[in-house]
Amino acid sequence: MSQSRTYEVRTYGCQMNVHDSERLSGLLEDAGYQRAAEGSTADIVVFNTCAVRENADNRLYGNLGHLRPVKDAHPGMQIAVGGCLAQKDRGEIVRRAPWVDVVFGTHNIGSLPTLLERARIGREAQVEIEESLETFPSTLPTRRESAYAAWVAISVGCNNTCTFCIVPALRGKEKDRRPGDILAEVRALVAEGAIEVTLLGQNVNAYGSEFGDRQAFSKLLRACGEIEGLERVRFTSPHPRDFTDDVIDAMAETPNVMPQLHMPLQSGSSKVLKAMRRSYRQERFLDIVRRVREKMPEAAITTDIIVGFPGETEEDFQETLHVVREARFAAAFTFQYSKRPGTPAATMDGQLPKEVVQERYERLVELQESISAEENRKLVGREVEVLVAEGEGRKDGDRRRLSGRAADNRLVHFATSLRGANSEHSATSLRGANSEHSSTEEGDNAPRPGDLVTVEVTYAAPHHLVADSGVRSLRRTRAGDAWAARNGQQQEQPGVLLGMPKVGVPAAEPAAAGGCCDA
């Protein structure tokens, strides 16, 4: 195979899909492919799909249709479709789009290079869908999209049976990695420069169920706290059913576990929760929120909420509004219920008219927006430490700002001026040789993605904070050095196109809930 063949991976969906795409990129590069330059036509286009929304298939086939004339004009071009929708639709994809060369599922992403080569040599489509996990994804080559922050999968699959969710049917039963393997991956990432990891699974706090340790997740959090150089640990998403005091204690007592929790509510009505088969009730959820805040008063709690589940009455919806008022979420990803074929909820009685769901959705968004704004305004005048990020602020260039995440995962846009900034240069375990300098010129001391800055919040909006008074202190890190080493060679990365947005970012439009990482 020619070394010049290029690839592009288009990612749709949740954090698990984003992480899987890092594996797909790593596999292709390990097989000799190169990432296509921005604006060029790739020799291989891979769709990593999501089955979250009701019209996910229409979006996929629309995109495949747009690619058909491109492929016709580029002999040798190949198209591959993987992920949850491929697992669900199987041979249907090739039937509806016969110009697709490869279809692979969620359990065999490691087969992609081989399937592409088979399709190229045999000149016929290759469809391979495994019913169970072939190789744990974290054992595969990886092309990390960030030099300073990384996903680390601790499990795949889900043992829950939520009536609205198709994920267990597509991802399979929960499979847990051994703690030693997870910690070895985290240590390797830190050695490469990362200072933040997000532990990832469909239901992270059920971790350990496969090998019979109900406290395995809290032990894992505490073990991450002992890794030198690891500054920030996050996780997503936990299930309220499995959220126990040992996890709360581990969060509160482990300094590098961030004061942030994303815990899906889905509905505030105990009756609707029962119909969803969620195995907890309103009182249980609010009790967890109370206990988290007792141990971590500054914790930012975010959630997912579905509006218009079959049979939801106005009284049920009022219960959801009650929980939102009581919990005072920092943010909520609000979704209009969407049927997914193959789920029990799709055939339930009491499917609600679109206009009823839309009106409730708008009321919920209005309430949550007001609470988010009020909670964020409490931070005006306070100093926060921000991990500088790449690509978080779309208007940063126009406004001479950079952006990043505070410890509680709030998005912060900050002015890049170094007024009174104290650039720290004392030796620490996070500082690399390239950072050991004493210049105070702004050009030399400009914060880089991966560096940590302290700023004072000057303005608050519902979905972000602004700090326009200048950087109070700057700590240049090995993560910033790692970013600088990659800068100039790294191309702009594609965004997530469909499904659950990043934690801390509001949903831009109504969508179906129950994505891969919705617990």
CA distance 439 to 445: 7
Q: Which residues contact 353 (CB under 8 A, 6 or more apart)?
A: none
- Encoding tokens for residue 172? 């399979």
Q: For the chain, what is the total number of helices (H) and then of strands (E)?
A: 16, 22
Amino acid present at 338: S
Number of Cα atoms under 13 Å in the Cβ half of residue 225: 16
**269 preceded by cis ω (within 30°)?**
no
3-state secondary structure of 478: helix
Contact 439, 456 (CB under 8 A): no
Q: Are 263 and 503 in contact (CB under 8 A)?
A: no
**36: which 2 tokens?**
């296509």
- Name residues whose C-beta falls within 8 Å of residue 51's C-beta, 6 or more positions apart in sequence: 83, 84, 85, 87, 88, 166, 170, 340
**φ, ψ dihedrals at 190, nearest 5°:** -65, -40
Structure tokens at 95: 């039937």
Q: Which residues contact 96 (CB under 8 A, 6 or more apart)?
A: 61
Rounded to whole angstroms, what are the CA distances from 232 to 69, 260, 313? 46, 11, 42
CA–CA separation, 454 and 384 (whole Å): 6
Inter-CA distances, 408 with 298, 385, 404, Å: 8, 10, 11
Q: Which residues are annotated as a binding site?
A: 14, 50, 84, 158, 162, 165
Which residues lie across from 78 on neighbouring strands? 44
From the annotation, which residues make up the binding site for [4Fe-4S] cluster? 14, 50, 84, 158, 162, 165
Tokens at 92, concatenated? 């249907």
Residue 349 CA neighbour count, 13 Å, CB half: 0
Alpha-carbon distance of 159 to 165, in angstroms, equals 12
Whether residue 130 contacts residue 170, with contact meaning beta carbons closer than 8 Å, is answered with no
DSSP state letter for 479: H
Beta bridge partners of 383: 456
Strands (DSSP E) contained in 42-90 are 44-49, 78-83
Distance from C-alpha of 420 to C-alpha of 455, rounded to nearest angstrom? 11
Angle at 416 between CA 414 and CA 417, to 5 degrees: 120
119/121 Cα distance (integer angstroms): 6
149 within 8 A of 194, measured Cβ to Cβ: yes
